[in-house]
Amino acid sequence: MDCIFCKIIKGELKSYKVYEDEETLAFLDINPVTNGHILIVPKNHYETIEEISEDKLGVLMKAIKKVGAKVKNAIEIEGYNVSLNNGSVAGQIIPHLHFHIIPRRENDGLSPWPHKQYEEGIAEELTKILRIEKEEK
């Protein structure tokens, strides 16, 4: 496998590790959006969020929470974004599941994607096809 994140996990490529446990690794992004931009990856290779088990995803989320709190306190920021680009069309460049922690400051110049309004009837139609019903026991 020629996955850059797998190589970082194995120690084959240099990284600036900030957190590691048995199942996750967090390191500075080499092309940061802001100073302190961190990537958090599962040590096992999963390409997208649909491939990881809920239990393993829970472990990953605990690491995200821990690293996010450390970033917020250590570099004294007001907040941070946690983001996932899931699939190449969504901007995922490395095909290994990873979350971004992007430190934010007031007036830092970053802005989220543009927001739009639904055309007449679209919200209702999407609700019908996207609704997940409560599972029967």
Residues with active-site annotation: 98
Cα separation, 121 vs 62, whole angstroms: 39
Roughly how many angstroms between the first and final C-alpha of the chain, as a whole number? 41
* Helix/strand/coil percentages in the chain, nearest 5: 30, 20, 50
Residue 112 to residues 41, 109, 130: CA-CA distances in angstroms?
23, 10, 24
Please name the residue that has the structure tokens 């190449």: 88
